[in-house]
Structure 1
Amino acid sequence: MRTIGNWLRKGWLVLAVAAVVIPLDQWTKTLVRQHIDKFSAIVPIPSLGEYFVFEHVENYGAAFGILQNQGGLFVIIAIIVIAVILFYVRHLPTDEWLVRGLLGLMLGGAVGNLIDRIQQGYVTDFVKVGIPGVYYWPNFNIADSAIVIGVIG
């Protein structure tokens, strides 16, 4: 029991941040699946026009659509990443608040996309940004954003 108490003392911020990211990610993906047809798009902020669009896509691969139809591999990788984060938190010095917050973002993102892969067999992506007729960044979601912010932060 003492080990759990020690972990919680160091890990509460990681869990708190993840506890915000996961439901926000799942809620937005559910809204997209319910209200935007697959491969259809809406413009959520008219003043941004086609520069910022919500487009419903199903991603069976990883970032940029690589390694399509390798869902089992991504489930295993996500579980390993989650385990490593949870293990690493215990070894952080107590004053590493920023690192804990960033780890919480990564944990929340990993769990959010893992839930999709287990429940849907794919990850729902919907945020599309770019320059119309020139280039669009590959679609992404809240979990992806949390992971990227956690990694580069």
Structure 2
Amino acid sequence: MRTMTGVAIWVFLIDQFIKYVVLYHVFGLPGSLIGSDVDALPYPARVDVFEPFLVLTMAWNRGVNFGLFAGYDLRWILIVVAFAICGFVIWWLRRDPPGRWGMISAGLLIGGALGNVIDRVLYGAVADFLNMSCCGINNPFAFNVADISIFAGAIGLVLFTDGDDKKKTA
């Protein structure tokens, strides 16, 4: 559990640090946006880091992945769902502990989920800003470090946890 907790803390801190740097230093957003109305939050001009492979494009996401349900204020529902998923993952892994990679995967998922929860609490929306396109495919979606961690953690939990009942093999 220490591995999972450590990874979750580091992912959370890295996500929040990168969001702070991008929002307030790269995009130069004014002062504190905490408590702002999501509809009034600024959308600064895009920043070409290594175009088209990496472009910073601001998107305030009130919905779930890819902006689904963004027209609705689901902030508190999504916060509860994130906490419920984190709680379930912790319960599951305490009950049937996986190996090191399973714990790392759980830490990635939990740290990313909590990073996005903090955004929803502070801003009312998740700060997405990474956009990557390649090879003639134009990706219209923005994401953040927490989203990458959640995705990698979920895939890792599928790959690195034993789905078989250990009692059957004994």
Contact 1:39–1:57 (8 Å) recurs in 2: no
Q: Deviations over 1:86-137 (max 9, x none)?
A: 21221133x6111111000000011100111111110000110114975215
Secondary structure in structure 1 of the residue aligned to 2:52: helix
State the TM-score, normalized to the length of structure 1. 0.83
Identity, % of aligned pairs?
Answer: 28
State the TM-score, normalized to the length of structure 2. 0.75
Secondary structure in structure 2 of the residue aligned to 1:140: coil
1:63 aligned residue: 65
1:87 to 88, 91, 96: 91
2:23 aligned residue: 33
- What stretches of structure 1 of length at least 5 have no aligned partner? 1-10
Q: Distance in 2 between matches of 1:66 and 1:108?
A: 22
- What stretches of structure 2 of length at least 5 have no aligned partner? 30-42, 157-170
Contact 1:17–1:101 (8 Å) recurs in 2: yes
Secondary structure in structure 2 of the residue aligned to 1:67: coil
1:77 aligned residue: 81
Secondary structure in structure 1 of the residue aligned to 2:132: strand
1:129 aligned residue: 132
1:107 to 91, 106, 110: 110
Contact 1:43–1:49 (8 Å) recurs in 2: yes
Give the ranges of 4+ consecutive aligned residues of structure 1 lying more than 4 Å apart after TM superposition: 131-134
Q: Distance in 2 between matches of 1:73 and 1:24?
A: 25
Size of the aligned set, in residue pairs, is 139
Which structure shows the higher helix fraction?
1
1:4 aligned residue: none
